[in-house]
Structure 1
Amino acid sequence: MSAPERIPPRSVTALDLLAKGELTVKGRVREASNAVLYCSVAYDGEEAHCVYKPIAGERPLWDFPDGTLAQREVAAYEISEATGWGLVPPTVLRDGPYGEGMVQLWIEADPSADGLLALVEDEEPGDGWKAVGFADVGEGRTALLVHADDNRLRRLAVLDAVINNGDRKGGHLLPTADGHLYAIDHGVTFNVDDKLRTLLWGWAGEPLSAEAVEVLGALAASLADGGRLAKRLAELLTPAEVGAVRSRVTVLLAASRHPQPSGAWPAIPWPPV
């Protein structure tokens, strides 16, 4: 599973390829908690690799309705696209060899990319880093968990706040050779209750960037009744969940600050990677 992804040319869009192409299962990602299949997809002379997560392979969760994780992954892509930041790889909902599921373009992370997360033994994060908190590293020792003070991560922190991501781990961050950052695994999102768990708390309580405020304003307009994004999300989420997205955007705009941990829910996912 080491072949690089191939973004199809404009004659066949990535979404067309994923939605209409013939899926061939090549293997399974064993580390995943749900069924995650590595596939090739071919359409109209173009081919790429992708991830296919059939709904039939989803494990039940106590706090999410059964059989809804694939739709949440697609909804996260739709909001990512609406921001203009392109943080989530092209993602569709379609039928496949094991029934309906989420299909997402495979992204090959650049192994030579600079690290975005680290554990340091100092009390302060140092230049270019933001502190998340202290972590137990065994034998009675702690280390400071930090993430890069990187605008790509800051954008992702805003996206995660909007979609109420309950599981933003380090392994979900995929920097590519061209400098882009993608984020994956968005099944545990869009809960109506506050579930935000993330490693990207470094900006907690800080003012939002002017860019983020502008993007959130555009999201609010598109989420209004009759808006394009509101209509699309209504195909994937419950009315209560769409309303909760609308409310989160409104709250973020009113505060004009990155959210802080609520204290009602573990702030950092486990395991963190």
Structure 2
Amino acid sequence: MPASERIPAERLTLPLELLAHGELTVRGRIREASNAVLFCTVAQDGATADCVYKPVAGERPLWDFPEGNLARREVAAYEISEALGWRLIPPTVLRDGPYGDGMVQLWIEPDPEARLLALVDGDEAGDGWKAVGPAEVGDGRTALLVHADDTRLRRLAVLDAVINNGDRKGGHLLPAAGGRLYGIDHGVTFHVEDKLRTLLWGWAGEPLTAEALDALEGLRAALAEGGELAERLGRLLTPAEVEAVRARVAGLRAGGVHPEPSGEWPPIPWPPV
């Protein structure tokens, strides 16, 4: 293999090894992000991949989350995604980098033709879509915000309920080549209080699928005290946060339905996209 040959994400067989131990080179900054987000390449043994590096030192303090903790939450979200078996989050590691410890995640190039969100006139979502709610579109007008009635999005809605995602925006959905869907930006997660804010409310109150219930049962077993997943999460989250994950999994399994907005917290993040 020629030196420094870039390997597409879908062909990487050991992305975690490359992300964790490869040489990290900063190429630029993604300026739209509220925290420091750096576009990088990572190279090892002739293989090179694009990635995102979010140093802890570049995190903007949040009043309701511990300072310097968002990177660990991103890695914890990846661990939960893997345990569910759905692989909805790109490979993600915690490591040292040019600006200190931070989260490093494989870069995913989105499919520009995929449509997961839309604004429609009227009060009905239409075939193949699920309603989220009204959205302002300017000049005092509103339209109905809808998301695709898509199995991949439904899995992501379950994952968000487990990790208590407080910031599932449209821009955090990455449909990729080959029919894959990834979610990114999971720093605002795992709070012990209900913080769920998402665009994926289309299944609220509906029964969970048999697939979701099976995945949650597997996750429940993996979260048992003394298990490998519980130990890894214990290095990333507080004991109370790990216990809150167990409680949310148990609640979802017992209730058997997708969660609904609590009414105590804005249900949709701002800006939504």
Instruction: Name the TM-score, length of structure 1 as normaliser.
Output: 0.96
SS of the aligned residue for 2:9 comes to coil
Match of 2:155 in 1: 155
Contact in 1 for aligned 2:7/2:47 (Cα 8 Å): no
Q: Deviations over 1:117-160 (max 9, x none)?
A: 01101210000000011112222211101000000000000000
Match of 2:27 in 1: 26
Q: Name the amino acid aligned to 2:102.
A: G
Q: Name the amino acid aligned to 1:199.
A: L
Give the 5 Å matches for 1:128-143.
128-143=128-143
Match of 1:183 in 2: 183
Q: Which runs of 4+ in 1 moved over 3 A?
A: 3-10
Quick one: distance in 1 between partners of 2:9 and 2:118?
A: 30
Quick one: distance in 2 between partners of 1:140 and 1:267?
A: 22
Q: Name the amino acid aligned to 1:178.
A: G
Structure 1 pair 165–4 and aligned structure 2 pair: CA distance change class (3 A): farther
Match of 1:121 in 2: 121
SS of the aligned residue for 1:178 comes to helix
1:265 deviates by 0.5
SS of the aligned residue for 1:243 comes to helix
Aligned pair 1:207/2:210, yes or no?
A: no
Match of 2:257 in 1: 257
Quick one: distance in 2 between partners of 1:87 and 1:228?
A: 20
Q: Name the amino acid aligned to 1:118.
A: A
Quick one: distance in 1 between partners of 2:184 and 2:8?
A: 15
Q: May I ask how many residue pairs the two structures share in their alignment?
A: 268
Match of 1:46 in 2: 47
SS of the aligned residue for 2:272 comes to coil
Contact in 1 for aligned 2:129/2:146 (Cα 8 Å): yes
Q: Name the amino acid aligned to 2:148.
A: A
Instruction: Name the TM-score, length of structure 2 as normaliser.
Output: 0.96
Quick one: distance in 2 between partners of 1:123 and 1:138?
A: 18
Quick one: distance in 2 between partners of 1:71 and 1:196?
A: 19
Q: Alignment RMSD, CA only?
A: 1.2
Structure 2: 5+ residue runs without aligned partners? Answer: 1-5
Quick one: distance in 2 between partners of 1:140 and 1:112?
A: 30
Quick one: distance in 2 between partners of 1:132 and 1:5?
A: 34
Q: Name the amino acid aligned to 1:119.
A: L
Structure 1: 5+ residue runs without aligned partners? Answer: none
Q: Name the amino acid aligned to 1:98.
A: Y
1:229 deviates by 1.6
Quick one: distance in 2 between partners of 1:176 and 1:9?
A: 15
Quick one: distance in 2 between partners of 1:7 and 1:251?
A: 35
Q: Deviations over 1:154-184 (max 9, x none)?
A: 0000000000000000001111121100110
1:91 deviates by 0.2
1:228 deviates by 2.2
Q: Name the amino acid aligned to 1:112.
A: E
Q: State the identity %.
A: 74
SS of the aligned residue for 2:158 comes to helix
Quick one: distance in 2 between partners of 1:5 and 1:30?
A: 24
Contact in 2 for aligned 1:73/1:185 (Cα 8 Å): yes
Quick one: distance in 2 between partners of 1:9 and 1:206?
A: 37
